[in-house]
Amino acid sequence: MTIRNWAKFFFFAMLVGGAVNGICSLFIRWEFFQPYAANGQWGEFLAGLLWMVFLGFTMSVIAQAGFFAYLTLHQVGVNIFRTLTLWNWVQLLLIAITIFDIIFFRFVPGVKDGQSWVFYIGLLIVLIFGAVATAVQKVKLTGKKHVFISALFFMVVVTTLEWTIALMGRDENINEYVALLLFPLLAVNAYQLLVLPKYNAKSDEDRQKLEARRKARLEQAKNA
């Protein structure tokens, strides 16, 4: 990917993270915003919303770091296990381990501390549904069925690793952030997975145009 296209990719991914986090915060953390809205304190309301957007930007940067780390991991995995089929089986195993870890080492302790299973099951459904929907769309865009498992692995395992920042917190309002931060991570990861080929193709096109201009200049120099 060229520097210019990477900058566009980075910028739009940040916009996705900021917008999704800002919108979701109005629902998930409405009790924080409601007093400002009720009292007409729109400056404070806007400041709180901007903070949530900035938090979405931060999650976007984390998601992008995770995405490029996954691209390296995927290539290493294929090289180690020699075949994509075997690597896909390994990825399925890691998906199962990750879901087991979320339930028994993240959600169960939360339930013991007084949280409802409905809360955690709802988050797990959002994670899995978002992952499956993105993987299905990736297959439709590429026309390659074997990418389903890799896309599912990225959306479940890598998103969960990025989400661990919130999952391991023990703050008083941590459950609000556990719910809130899942959405920008899912959105940014889905965006990256689905649009990266477009930016790669545009980068190839830009390089071809640059090469054509170089050849044209060389021809002009020779004829001068």
pLDDT in tens, 73-130: 999 998 998 888 899 999 999 999 999 998 888 887 777 666 678 888 899 999 999 9
User: Which residues are CB-neighbours of 167 under 8 A, at least 6 positions away?
Assistant: 102, 106, 160, 178
pLDDT score, position 173: 66
For the record, the structure tokens of 33 come out as: 């915003």
Mean pLDDT for 144-169 is 90
How many Cβ atoms sit within 10 Å of the Cβ of residue 125?
Answer: 10
Give the per-residue pLDDT at 135: 96
Q: Please, which pLDDT band fits residue 161 given cuts at 50, 70 and 90?
A: very high
Query: If we measure between CA atoms, which residue out of 207, 204, 192 comes closest to residue 71?
Result: 192
Angstrom distance (rounded) from CA 59 to CA 162? 8
Give the mean model confidence (pLDDT) for residues 135-155.
93
Computed on alpha carbons and rounded to an integer, the radius of gyration of the chain in Å comes to 21
Please check the confidence at residue 169 and state whether its pLDDT lies above 70: no
Q: 118 or 140, which is more confident?
A: 140
Distance spanning both ends of the chain, measured CA to CA: 34
Rounded CA-CA distance 95/161 in Å is: 12
Model confidence, pTM: 0.89
Sign of CA dihedral 96, 102, 104, 105: positive
Q: How confident is the model at residue 172 (pLDDT cuts 50, 70, 90)?
A: low
